[in-house]
Amino acid sequence: MAGVTRDSAAWSVVSLSSVPERQSDQVFLYIGMYVERLEMLSIAFAGDGDKGMLYVLNGCKNFCRLEICDSPFGDATFLRDVGKYETMRSLWMSSCDVTI
């Protein structure tokens, strides 16, 4: 992902909502690896499946606010690490493949 380096680990907010192309799970892997202090993530039309969000949840230790719109994240993402969602300050979802 262009622009993500170890120096950017101080980022606290990342918004992929205005990026015109669909972001792959690889983008979320890089966010989880290099943006450890991420607190807020806003995404739309992003991800290939459930793995992408798991990378962010496991890599970003300060993660507390998530906004998702029109993304393929489904039940597997939310059931696997449900404890991480319970500790968030804010979770907003729209048009996601969640049945629970």
Ordered by where they begin, the domains of the chain are 8-94 (3.80.10.10)
Q: What is the pTM of this model?
A: 0.71
Asked if 31 contacts 60 with a C-beta cutoff of 8 angstroms, the reply is yes
The Cα angle at residue 39 between residues 93 and 85, in degrees rounded to 5: 45
Following DSSP, what letter does each residue of 13-76 receive, concatenated? EEE-TT-SSPPPHHHHHHHHHH-TT--EEEEES--SSHHHHHHHHHH-TT--EEEEES---BHH
pLDDT in tens, 8-56: 455 577 766 656 566 778 888 888 888 888 889 888 777 777 788 888 8
pLDDT in tens, 77-97: 777 777 777 788 888 888 777
